[in-house]
Amino acid sequence: MEYNHCPTCKGTLGMSAEGYTACLEISCNFVYYENPTPVVAAVIEYKDGNVLLAHNSQWPPKVFALVTGFLEKHEDPEEAVLREVKEEVGLDGEIRGFLGHYMFKKRNQLLIAYHIYADGEVELNDPEIDEVKIIPFEQVKTWPTGTGHALKKFLESKGFTPEVVPFG
């Protein structure tokens, strides 16, 4: 979100000494911190030895990535990641581990990444996801940004050294 005027007092915005967009009115203490948004991400291990990647219908063809999503109000990340996996690819997943948190600077998001195991049937009911790809561990490539770091860490934990290629 971008502001033209202070959302608290409608005053003029400027730059604070600390480098934040802030209200310049002396009586107002609004600061626009632009705190990162938390996003959950799922590295889905599918039927032992494969990774399931998803294609977002808004993306160019052949670009596949992790299932991700925003947390709902008051939702725990563990619940959120299982909910997103169910909604986006129709799988009842099981959390097998935490893969760490990674900053995705381009979108100012803090990714919270999990290793999810699933072996059911994929069902694409969410218009956001229109295709999935199931790839054996040894053939998975990762990318040097955001969720790519989580995928790389997962593959390394399984004893693989994935090739890192630009996203898309």
* Position 11 contacts Zn ion (CB under 5 A): yes
Task: Figure out which of the listed residues 12, 16, 17, 28 binds Zn ion, where binding follows CB under 5 A.
Answer: 28
Q: What's the start-to-end Cα distance of the chain, in Å?
A: 26
Residue 90 neighbours by CB under 8 Å, 6+ apart: 120, 121, 122, 123, 124, 125
Is residue 32 a contact point for Zn ion (CB under 5 A)?
Answer: no
- CB-nearer residue toward Zn ion: 30 or 117: 30
- Binds Zn ion by CB under 5 A, chosen from 3, 5, 9, 72: 9
Instruction: Specify whether the CB–CB gap between 25 and 105 falls below 8 A.
Output: no
In contact, 137 and 115? CB cutoff 8 Å: no
Please choose, from the candidates 54, 65, 39, 57, the residue with its C-alpha nearest in 3D space to the C-alpha of residue 123: 54
- Give the nearer residue to Zn ion in terms of CB position, either 30 or 137: 30
C-alpha R_g of the chain: 19
Query: Should residue 23 be labelled a site residue for Zn ion when binding is judged by CB under 5 A?
Result: yes
Is residue 71 involved in binding Zn ion (CB under 5 A)? no
For position 117 contacting Zn ion by CB under 5 A, the verdict is no
Can you say whether the dihedral through the CA atoms of 150, 154, 155, 156 is positive or negative?
positive
Segment near Zn ion (CB under 5 A); pick from 9-17, 61-69, 85-93, 102-110? 9-17
Toward Zn ion, which CB reaches closer, 8 or 125? 8
- Which positions lie near Zn ion, rule CB under 5 A? 6, 8-9, 11, 23, 25, 28, 30
